[in-house]
Structure 1
Amino acid sequence: MEEHFVWVTTRRIQPGTLEEFERAWRPAPYPQGLRRAFAYWSEDGQEITGMSFWDSKEACDSWRASEPEAQRRAAMAPYVVQEREGFYHGRELAVSRR
């Protein structure tokens, strides 16, 4: 089974700022070592969970320590009320079809 390296961040944002937050949230340039990324929003649009899949923990750590990531976080800061994040590794689970 393929092992995945995943960075998960959940942010609560100011009410009514989802559009502005989304513009600030997108990285530019896209990081090296980033394989895939997903974003999930709560129904009220005030909580966003992002999941990014990386080649390795080192690739993720390199991005997190980079100047473009610092600039991205600064651009998001006015909208963020609370943030939680963690780095994980694991694999896809087989789901039986009944």
Structure 2
Amino acid sequence: MEEQFVWVTTRRLRPGTLEDFESAWRPGATPQGMRRAFAYWSEDGQEITGVSFWDSKEACDSWRASDPEAQRRAAMAPYVVEEREGFYRGRELAIPHS
């Protein structure tokens, strides 16, 4: 199975700011080297996890060091209470069929 490169970020948000946060969160253009991205949020709207798939760790690192990403993070900052992130390598698991 193909190895994948994934950046996962989980943010705890100030109450009632999910909609405003989502507007600030979306990049203006698709970052070079990003294949796919997903967002998952808690039922109360106070925690959001982003999962993005990249061509390589270098492509992700390049985006993270870019001016557009710095501007995006600055726009999100007023809504974020806590942030955790990590970069991972892995692959899809084969699920046995019964």
TM-score, with normalisation over the residues of structure 2?
0.99
How far is the alpha carbon of 1:55 from its aligned partner? 0.2
Q: Distance in 2 between matches of 1:18 and 1:72?
A: 15
Residue matched to 1:93: 93
Residue matched to 1:48: 48
Percent identity (aligned) = 83
How far is the alpha carbon of 1:40 from its aligned partner? 0.2
Residue matched to 1:13: 13
One-letter code aligned to 1:63: W
Misfit runs of 4+, over 6 Å: none
Query: For 1:37-56, what per-residue CA distance to the aligned partner results, in whole angstroms no more than 9, with x for missing partners?
Result: 00000010000000000000
**Pairwise CA RMSD:** 0.4
Unmatched tracts of structure 1, length 5 or more: none
Unmatched tracts of structure 2, length 5 or more: none
Number of residue pairs aligned between Structure 1 and Structure 2: 98
Residue matched to 2:33: 33
